[in-house]
Amino acid sequence: MEQKKRVIALGFFDGVHRGHGALLSRVAQVAQEMGATPAAVTFDTHPENLIIGSPMPLISSPLDRAELMRRYYGIQEVIIAHFDDRMMHMPWRDFVTDFLIRENGAVHLVAGHDFHFGYKGEGNPERLKTVCAEMGIGCDIIPKVELDGITISSTYIRTLLAQGEMERANYFLGHPHTLTDTVAHGKKLGTTLGFPTVNLHFAPGVLIPARGVYATRVCFENGDSRPAVTNIGVRPTVDDHGSVNVEGFILDFDGDLYGQTIRMEFYRHLRGEQKFPSLEALRDEVMRNAEQTREYFATHP
């Protein structure tokens, strides 16, 4: 059977920001011209975790990364390669000729100006262009992308998220920061207070944004969505175990979402995490945050 032809974007694509978007848009364009499948190759863990030996927090999980590429840029296939010792020591030429071309049917490759690959990062854009020409396939190298004089990078966006600067982070991402998870059972405190909530968790290794309350939107499996007030933190008023969780109060909604997979989109940091003197004070503040959230989405449709 003839192997599928793929136009492939190369990179880690953490967060799938506007810089990545330049690569992915080019892939979609070339794939349409060639009658090929628009695809991207990424890794299940950040290469620096293995190369340097220190954990690199991720902006988004592999699941969210793949979904963002599909939803915003029309990438039909996301090939998530396992980054292990074999991959780390693979010669740069073999990565192109064996892994990308022979194993995955690449007929055109697209990479960023700073893309390095193969053993010790010896592969670079110039070498990529050379070996593609030798193998008779196309290659595009995309220059750096800037906004407001700042080079768009995952490192800069991580800093913004850690500081709670959600709107600026979204500006550089080109889409709302996203968390997709299956709704878990919580302590049903929200129901007790009069506002049922959903409990989500960031996947291990994924950066947790600054603690506090956010204006968010929750998107359901059926395509519907609702605004929500979401707290990231340890719930100091009602809990003392110290573990961070994500708890969203969905506005104007009454239903059972346990076991469903939902997507939460973060838009604005409303306030920092704080401990209230009573549950009544907490409820009053959540109601105030609900009004802030309604106002936000009324002015940002």
Provide the percentage of residues in the chain whose pLDDT is more than 90: 68
Does one domain contain both 10 and 116? yes
Asked if residues 106 and 137 have their Cβ atoms less than 8 Å apart, the reply is yes
Taken as a whole, the chain contains a residue count of: 301
Q: What is the pLDDT of residues 184-232, one digit of tens each?
A: 876 555 555 666 789 999 988 899 999 999 999 999 988 899 999 999 9
Tell me which of 133, 150, 167 is where a domain ends.
150
Task: Say if 267 falls within a structural domain.
Answer: yes
Find the CATH number of the domain harbouring 235.
Answer: 2.40.30.30
Does one domain contain both 26 and 100? yes
Task: Say if 87 falls within a structural domain.
Answer: yes
Residue 129 parent element (H or E): helix 125-135
The label of the residue with tokens 């998530």 reads 80
Task: Say if 162 falls within a structural domain.
Answer: no
Find the CATH number of the domain harbouring 97.
Answer: 3.40.50.620
Q: What is the pLDDT of residue 256?
A: 81
What would the mean pLDDT of 144-162 be, rounded to a whole number? Answer: 95
Residue 185 domain boundaries: 176-299
Closest CA to 297 of 263, 252, 267: 267
The SS3 of residue 222 is: coil
Task: Say if 157 falls within a structural domain.
Answer: no
Does one domain contain both 139 and 52? yes
Q: What is the pLDDT of residue 54?
A: 64
Q: Does residue 236 carry a pLDDT above 60?
A: no
Q: What is the pLDDT of residue 266?
A: 98
Longest dimension (CA), the chain: 71
Q: What is the pLDDT of residue 288?
A: 94
Q: What is the pLDDT of residue 22?
A: 97
Does one domain contain both 133 and 11? yes
Q: In angstroms, how far is the first alpha carbon of the chain from the final one?
A: 48
Does one domain contain both 124 and 197? no
Distance, CA of 179 to CA of 261 (rounded, Å): 10
Does one domain contain both 142 and 261? no
Distance, CA of 32 to CA of 84 (rounded, Å): 33
Does one domain contain both 140 and 195? no
Does one domain contain both 26 and 143? yes
Q: Which of 70-74, 129-133, 184-188, 265-269 has the lowest mean pLDDT?
A: 184-188
Q: What is the pLDDT of residue 3?
A: 76
Rounded to two decimals, what is the model's pTM?
0.89
Tell me which of 116, 150, 184 is where a domain ends.
150
Distance, CA of 232 to CA of 245 (rounded, Å): 6
Task: Say if 159 falls within a structural domain.
Answer: no
Does one domain contain both 141 and 229? no
Q: What is the pLDDT of residue 50?
A: 54
What would the mean pLDDT of 259-271 be, rounded to a whole number? Answer: 96
Does one domain contain both 69 and 24? yes
Domain count of the fold of the chain: 2
Does one domain contain both 197 and 231? yes
Closest CA to 190 of 109, 267, 283: 283
* Of 120 and 270, more confident: 270
Does one domain contain both 96 and 202? no
Task: Say if 57 falls within a structural domain.
Answer: yes
Distance, CA of 24 to CA of 75 (rounded, Å): 7
What would the mean pLDDT of 118-124 be, rounded to a whole number? Answer: 90
Task: Say if 166 falls within a structural domain.
Answer: no
Task: Say if 160 falls within a structural domain.
Answer: no
Contacts for 121-128: CB closer than 8 Å, 24+ residues apart = 122/91, 122/92, 123/92, 123/93, 123/95, 123/96, 127/92, 127/93, 128/10, 128/96
The label of the residue with tokens 């359901």 reads 220
